[in-house]
Chain A
């Protein structure tokens, strides 16, 4: 029987693409499994991982610890390193065989290469870089009431959409919410006519469940048959080079101290001050896009729409004006402190505490004050 992905009721279960690199599961996979669990519960279906690699059975059960019921494992030397062709072929054929209704990927440089190719082949919709996912309408409406400026009556009326001239109920559809236009707007996207509904999800946004060792032991591991030949793969991975320096772990950081254009007067000193302040608080240094574009700091430090999304306990913005693209990456932080010379800088709109002043004068004082406060504990 030919694969017909417009017969919505044929499709069942939530799937997560489990990204591994060099045999190690990417942390985003666990975030997706945790979020996928929530969606699967709302739908009353199973949550399954799909894991591709070479001899990766050893890490397959890990996702069970975060809530997956099953994991489909595909082992082959041709799947050892990521290639678009091999991974797309195996995933698309698995989708045609098992027919999941939802398929999630991490929005990594690999997920964002693979997911569009799969969606193109499967003829289905894909929503990029999602920051929020819902199934249940009441939950979704609750989210909108909190996270949007939409009028309550407008939120209440949501429930159906016009699709190709027909009114369609979307209460069982995946609502995929993401920033658009650099974070100026948010949009919730649905894929009402085709399955699976596909999304890539921003790393660091979804909360990871507590690891449950018993659940990991109980996960069902499956090895479906599949066909993959060397001739299916049109690209050749010649080498994989790790970055020379250790990259900053912005997403996992408890405290982020970010610098912006305000350090231009003395870039080296500005970064050194941020590093010192970060060290006092046990945090790491982030930056605005301006500093990365100017070549003052490497791209792994960038917070914002085109950088990383962070939500540390404390976020300190030094000399950052607060363009909407930057705010999109940090405004969910628990506590935000901003130091800026310009008292009308937009960063103060999202800051819990603001200090108007020159960062080169304020930061040394901050370092002293924080040190003293910590010593007094």
Chain B
């Protein structure tokens, strides 16, 4: 039994973001981080490892520097990393990305009792599509928005969060589960772990490693294989600045109440 976790290195959109004059994002100016929901998936994998003693393998697709992220995850306790990286994979939308990651995971091998974990969504695109689409391409059952996961042999039980409560859903391994931040509190990397990380195995799967897989061909990967195209991207205009009221005492709040009453808001 093993646990596969898919992770993504993303620009930190919580900080200041620079936009190029042509409306695209200035990625060079931004810090990269491990996608927050993916850390919850990694923590879920490591908790199951603590409990069941299984191997945890992290998969990521991205440029070569994503190796640094895989080493960080190894310092947290991940046993092995797979970096899926090739020029041919660039420009992939969620469909094409799922196709490639599914091929990579299938090439590595999925066994009877395996679980694949993913973060619910990545903060750069916020799509939440890659997890379910990997599951579809691998013909595996999926359970998204996991708020609690338990495993007994081949049986997985998950509390799947809804807006107004949750469902308790059972599935058999192998299966795909996507994780939300309420699931757990990700652990920190340990000093010993950081030392150990560099001796753990890291494999790079490039185009040649995957090109013979049935899911991979020119019509399903990269920019050309992506069903969606960007028509245009833009920044919204700044709303005209409003009125800063003078002072902050009772006269000011009375003034505001009077304005709202006059405009029939109250």
Chain A residues within 8 Å of B, Cβ to Cβ: 21, 81-82, 84-85, 88, 108-110, 112-113, 115-117, 119-121, 123-129, 144, 147-150, 158, 161, 163-164, 170, 175, 179-182, 184-194, 234-243, 247, 281, 293, 299-300, 305-306, 313-314, 323-325, 331, 335-337, 343, 348-358, 361-362, 365-366, 368-370, 372-374, 376-377
Contact = CB atoms under 8 A, between A and B. Distances in A.
B113 interface: no
Q: Is the interface of A mostly helix, strand, loop or mixed?
A: mixed
Given A128-B94, A181-B124, A188-B232, 13 more contacts: A120-B133, A144-B234, A149-B235, A150-B23, A190-B231, A235-B141, A238-B170, A240-B167, A241-B165, A242-B164, A348-B242, A358-B248, A373-B266
Interface-centre pick from B131, B236, B265 (highest chain A CB count, 10 A): B236
A353 B245 contact: yes
A375 to B, nearest CB: 11
Interface in B102-155: 123-133, 135-137, 141-145
Interface stretch (B44-52, B74-82, B195-203, B253-261): B253-261
Contact of A181 (B25, B170, B249): B25
B208 interface: no
A116 B132 contact: yes
A120 B94 CA distance: 9
B241 A348 contact: yes
16 contacts: A113-B142, A116-B130, A148-B235, A149-B237, A180-B124, A186-B235, A187-B233, A190-B229, A234-B172, A235-B169, A324-B13, A325-B14, A335-B265, A349-B238, A365-B249, A372-B257
B13 A238 contact: no
A184 B25 contact: yes
Interface string B72-105: 0000000000000000000001110010000000
B31 interface: no
Q: Is the interface of B mostly helix, strand, loop or mixed?
A: mixed
What are the 9 closest A-B residue pairs judged by CB atoms, nearest first? Answer: A357-B248, A125-B227, A182-B13, A120-B136, A125-B228, A234-B141, A148-B234, A369-B257, A128-B127
A324 to B, nearest CB: 7
A239 B170 CA distance: 10
Contacts of B143: 84, 235
A331 B239 contact: yes
B253 A366 contact: yes
B19 interface: yes
B232 A120 contact: no
